[in-house]
């Protein structure tokens, strides 16, 4: 079991034939993802060859041939795909997500960075009406180590294990996976740092709570909005598994956007301190650094400290 | 991007919302001419992209053109909350019968916009919302439907504003959608003695991500108040100047924010936020390092990279390039992990620069950088 993404997931890649799409499709294939097709109306009918390094490393290369479809619907009809990963440029992202939702894919992972908020608002509502889950935009996607990888999270950081992870930040996802690589993860979900995202901390917490393979959840937040405060309340009321938190942005000045479009302390809200306090009030220990957060996870899981 | 008041006014006027006659200038002499043109008296308003300028002395009433010139001279060049006043707006005064608040704000949780209205305009709306929540009305706007005249009429009636405010609400929604705004706020929306609804002040935040389809935005770009920020922006870097002494460069907004916090936890203060982003090239790294090293406040630099898409060898090559071109005199602590980290370490080993210090973990790197900054 895993959350949202398993080895059974059949993945289409919208924008597969672009530079980013090619590079990451190869990486997804290498991670074991069942990539069943790409989508590009101008290249429909072609097949793209990927030279995929085999695991364990050094044991040669396999050739994988992935068909390109003219639309998501064609891809879904031909392959039974249920996941789409979107790599198309910002100007076309809204249409791409809505197309995937209309074609009935249950999960759309939007890697594209720099999508206008009005477009995110529109495709979020569109997908919700059709029962499609959107992860992102501006996110690294999600990985169920050893099973499937939909997005750009490096699959070799950590293997399978009992920790579920949900994070607004891609690199903090990688950092925590690295810190806890000896224990491993059920699923890691990068939900993205934009003001409007399709899947929230709460959605992931609820899914991890129901996932028998997840023993503990790491929740990574950052300044901006009140998603962490809401997640804290949800944990208090609905989550019985241990949760460990981390929040970035204590030193962020008010009114300045810190890299992520959604990472801004506006007025009196969105501060790291308020988020940390809310999490702690809900009984969630919050690490002062990623390393300390990893230590809290080890304590909670009863694992000894990782040998140096 | 936050617009200046005068830019926000222009946008409202373009969409048919009434604003008082006004003009903007950076010259006291011209201010006198503008006041004369407006009929004599004028409100002189500092143009800064921050709130609370009235309390800071940035808004003054001038009874005649001579006084307008004097007020302009006094306001120009002052500093309001760290924002230098480069221009002022002179607006024709208005006789006000009533003041309202009308805005669209983003509700991140619902992923849609809210119309926010109040019959208590002209004051600090956050304070009104805190002390008298019943005086502020919020309506979620269906993203598919938008705000039609019929929905606007209902909203305005419920909020207790005059019926004709519905037209303003519809037009303001068009501003939000067509201009790709994240926030539009009119405060106060004044009912004049002549019975017109007039926007006396406006705040608009545009979505930087929509730049590709908003051809006119270039002309609205404001100059950076900080020269280092201007230099970083010219090189396409995501950089925020802070007031400490440890320069910080990393990849990914979350990791960089976290690095700033870890630096602070080690008893030093970060001098900046600089995210080289995902998949950064050697060029981006070297540009970033040269911007940070040119900050006279910086005493030591911390480079913290966890390579996901970003290749650590490219980062290391960028560091080596900067060593040769910028010729730094300040220590640089480097922590590389993840994608191609071993090759990155080899690149740094080969260069063996005495100012480059290596750390194996993020915490260790921050401790060393903080120590170096505090002792040099």
The pLDDT of A77-97, averaged and rounded, is 98
Distances (CA, A) of B352 to B89, B292, B320, B329, B376: 56, 21, 10, 15, 21
Distances (CA, A) of A117 to A70, B10, B347: 27, 23, 41
Which residues, listed in sequence order, are joined to residue A135 by a DSSP beta bridge? A109
**In sequence order, what are the residues at sequence separation of 6 or more whose Cβ sits closer than 8 angstroms to the Cβ of residue B155?**
B115, B117, B137, B139, B147, B166, B169
Q: B101 or A264: which carries more pLDDT confidence? A: B101
Average model confidence (pLDDT) across chain A: 94
Peptide bond into A137 cis (omega under 30): yes
Residue of chain A nearest B268, judged by CA positions: A251
Q: Please, which residues 200-239 of chain B have a Cβ atom closer than 8 Å to chain A?
A: 207-210, 212-213, 238
The closest alpha carbon to A25, from A6, A47, A8, A42, belongs to A47
Query: Considering only CB atoms, which chain A residues are within 8 Å of B262?
Result: 289
B185 is catalytic: yes
What pLDDT, on a 0 to 100 scale, did the predictor assign at position A305?
Answer: 66
What's the token pair of residue A24?
Answer: 């990451």
The closest alpha carbon to B373, from B327, B323, B332, belongs to B332
Q: Which residue is listed with tokens 């019968």?
A: B97
Q: Does A152 touch chain B (CB under 8 A)?
A: yes
Instruction: Give the CA radius of gyration of chain A.
Output: 19
SS3 state at B281: coil
Of B5, B10, B185, B317, which is the active-site residue? B185
Question: Contact B252/A172, CB-based, under 8 Å?
Answer: yes
The pLDDT of A254-266, averaged and rounded, is 86
Judge residue A29's burial from the number of C-beta atoms within 10 Å of its C-beta, 0-12 exposed, 13-18 middle, 19 or more buried: buried
The closest alpha carbon to B82, from B204, B203, B243, belongs to B243
Distances (CA, A) of A152 to A30, A174, A189, B147: 12, 11, 11, 38
Active site residues of A: 260
CA distance A16 to chain B (A): 16
Q: Please, which residues 185-204 of chain A have a Cβ atom closer than 8 Å to chain B?
A: 193, 195-198, 200
Which residues, listed in sequence order, are joined to residue B207 by a DSSP beta bridge? none
Interface test with B, best of A194, A203, A259 (most B CBs within 10 A): A259
Closest partner residue to A174 among B210, B262, B338, by Cβ?
A: B338
Determine how β-strand B112-118 pairs with β-strand B136-140.
antiparallel
The answer to whether the CB of B157 falls within 8 A of the CB of B68 is: no
What's the token pair of residue B325?
Answer: 């071109």
Of B10, B69, B101, B120, which is the active-site residue? B101
What pLDDT, on a 0 to 100 scale, did the predictor assign at position B278?
Answer: 82
**In sequence order, what are the residues at sequence separation of 6 or more whose Cβ sits closer than 8 angstroms to the Cβ of residue B18?**
B196, B197, B198, B199
State how far the Cα of B304 lies from the Cα of A143, in Å rounded to an integer: 24
State how far the Cα of A249 lies from the Cα of B257, in Å rounded to an integer: 5
What pLDDT, on a 0 to 100 scale, did the predictor assign at position B236?
Answer: 85
Closest partner residue to B112 among A121, A225, A289, by Cβ?
A: A121
Q: Does B312 touch chain A (CB under 8 A)?
A: no
What pLDDT, on a 0 to 100 scale, did the predictor assign at position B149?
Answer: 97
The answer to whether the CB of A4 falls within 8 A of the CB of A107 is: yes
| DSSP designation for A266 | B
SS3 state at B345: helix
What pLDDT, on a 0 to 100 scale, did the predictor assign at position A57?
Answer: 55
Q: Does A172 touch chain B (CB under 8 A)?
A: yes
State how far the Cα of A85 lies from the Cα of A39, in Å rounded to an integer: 10
Number of residue pairs across A and B with CB atoms under 8 Å?
172
pLDDT under 50: residue ranges of chain B: none
CA distance B32 to chain A (A): 34
Q: Does B126 touch chain A (CB under 8 A)?
A: yes
What pLDDT, on a 0 to 100 scale, did the predictor assign at position A55?
Answer: 61
Longest dimension (CA), chain A: 56
Instruction: Give the CA radius of gyration of chain B.
Output: 25
What pLDDT, on a 0 to 100 scale, did the predictor assign at position B279?
Answer: 80
The pLDDT of A235-257, averaged and rounded, is 95
User: What letters, b where the CB count within 10 A reaches 16 and e where it falls short, cover B331-358?
Assistant: bbbbbbbbbbbeebbebbeeeeeeebbe
Question: Would you put residue B336 in left (φ > 0), alpha (ψ -120 to 50) or beta?
Answer: beta
Q: Does A288 touch chain B (CB under 8 A)?
A: yes
What pLDDT, on a 0 to 100 scale, did the predictor assign at position A214?
Answer: 98
State how far the Cα of A243 lies from the Cα of A297, in Å rounded to an integer: 8
Q: Does B50 touch chain A (CB under 8 A)?
A: yes
What's the token pair of residue A208?
Answer: 């991890």
Interface test with B, best of A118, A190, A195 (most B CBs within 10 A): A118
**In sequence order, what are the residues at sequence separation of 6 or more whose Cβ sits closer than 8 angstroms to the Cβ of residue B283?**
B318, B321
CA distance A41 to chain B (A): 23
Judge residue A73's burial from the number of C-beta atoms within 10 Å of its C-beta, 0-12 exposed, 13-18 middle, 19 or more buried: middle
Question: Contact A248/B338, CB-based, under 8 Å?
Answer: no
Q: Which residue is listed with tokens 């071993």?
A: B342
CA distance A78 to chain B (A): 31
Q: What sections of B294-361 are H helices per DSSP?
A: 312-326, 341-351
Tens of pLDDT, residue by residue over A105-164, are 999 999 999 999 999 999 999 999 999 999 999 999 999 999 999 999 999 999 999 999
Beta-carbon count within 10 A of B117 CB: 24
Which residues, listed in sequence order, are joined to residue B305 by a DSSP beta bridge? B336
């Amino acid at each position: 079991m895993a959350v949202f993404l398993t080895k059974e997931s059949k993945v289409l890649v919208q924008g597969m034939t672009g530079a980013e799409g090619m590079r990451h499709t190869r990486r997804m294939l290498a991670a074991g993802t069942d990539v069943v097709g790409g989508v590009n109306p101008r290249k429909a009918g072609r097949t793209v060859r990927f030279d995929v390094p085999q695991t364990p490393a050094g044991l040669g290369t396999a050739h994988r041939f992935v068909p390109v479809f003219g639309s998501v619907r064609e891809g879904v009809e031909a392959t039974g795909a249920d996941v789409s990963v979107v790599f198309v440029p910002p100007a076309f992202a809204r249409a791409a997500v809505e197309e995937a939702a209309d074609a009935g894919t249950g999960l759309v992972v939007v890697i594209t960075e720099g999508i206008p908020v009005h477009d995110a608002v529109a495709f979020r509502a569109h997908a919700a009406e059709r029962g499609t889950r959107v992860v992102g935009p501006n996110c690294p996607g999600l990985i169920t180590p050893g099973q499937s990888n939909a997005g750009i999270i490096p699959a070799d950081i950590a293997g399978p294990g009992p920790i579920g992870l949900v994070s607004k930040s891609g690199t903090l996802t990688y950092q925590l996976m690295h810190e806890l690589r000896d224990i491993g993860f059920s699923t890691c979900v990068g939900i993205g740092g934009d003001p409007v995202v399709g899947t929230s901390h709460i959605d992931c917490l609820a899914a991890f709570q129901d996932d028998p393979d997840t023993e503990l959840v790491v929740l990574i937040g950052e300044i901006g909005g009140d998603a962490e405060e809401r997640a804290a309340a949800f944990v208090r009321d609905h989550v019985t598994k241990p949760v460990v938190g981390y929040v970035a942005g204590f030193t962020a000045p008010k009114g300045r956007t810190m890299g992520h479009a959604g990472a801004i302390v506006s007025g009196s809200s969105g501060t790291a301190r308020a988020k940390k306090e809310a999490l702690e009030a809900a009984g969630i220990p919050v690490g002062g650094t990623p390393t300390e957060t990893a230590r809290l996870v080890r304590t909670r899981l009863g694992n000894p400290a990782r040998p140096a | 991007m936050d617009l200046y008041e005068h830019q926000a006014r222009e946008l409202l006027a373009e969409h048919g919302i009434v604003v008082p006659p006004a003009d903007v200038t950076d010259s006291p002499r011209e201010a006198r001419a503008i006041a004369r043109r407006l009929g004599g008296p004028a409100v002189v308003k500092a143009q800064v992209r921050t709130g609370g300028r009235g309390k800071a002395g940035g808004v003054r009433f001038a009874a005649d053109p001579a006084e307008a010139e004097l007020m302009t001279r006094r306001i120009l060049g002052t500093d309001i909350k760290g924002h230098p006043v480069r221009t002022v707006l002179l607006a024709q005064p208005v006789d006000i019968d009533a003041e309202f608040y009308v805005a669209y704000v983003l509700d991140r949780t619902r992923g849609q916009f809210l119309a926010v209205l109040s019959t208590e305009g002209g004051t600090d709306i956050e304070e009104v919302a805190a002390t008298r929540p019943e005086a502020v009305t919020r309506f979620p706007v269906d993203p598919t439907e938008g705000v039609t005249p019929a929905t606007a009429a209902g909203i305005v009636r419920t909020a207790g504003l005059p019926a004709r405010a519905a037209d303003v609400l519809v037009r303001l929604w068009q501003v939000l959608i067509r201009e790709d705004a994240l926030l539009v706020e009119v405060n106060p929306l004044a009912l004049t003695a002549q019975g017109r609804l007039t926007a006396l002040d406006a705040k608009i935040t545009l979505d930087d991500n929509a730049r590709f389809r908003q051809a006119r935005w270039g002309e609205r770009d404001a100059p950076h108040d900080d020269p280092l920020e201007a230099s970083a922006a010219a090189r396409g870097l995501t950089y925020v100047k802070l007031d400490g002494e440890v320069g910080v460069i990393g990849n990914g907004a979350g990791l960089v924010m976290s690095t700033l916090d870890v630096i602070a936890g080690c008893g030093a203060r970060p001098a900046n936020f600089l995210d080289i982003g995902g998949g950064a090239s050697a060029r981006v790294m070297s540009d970033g390092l040269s911007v940070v090293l040119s900050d006279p406040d910086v005493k030591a630099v911390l480079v913290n990279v966890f390579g996901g898409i970003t290749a650590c060898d490219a980062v290391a090559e960028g560091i080596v390039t900067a060593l040769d071109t910028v010729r730094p005199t300040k220590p640089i602590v480097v922590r590389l992990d993840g994608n191609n980290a071993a090759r990155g370490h080899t690149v740094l080993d080969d260069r063996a620069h005495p100012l480059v210090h290596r750390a194996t973990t993020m915490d260790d790197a921050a401790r060393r950088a903080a120590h170096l900054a505090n002792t040099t």
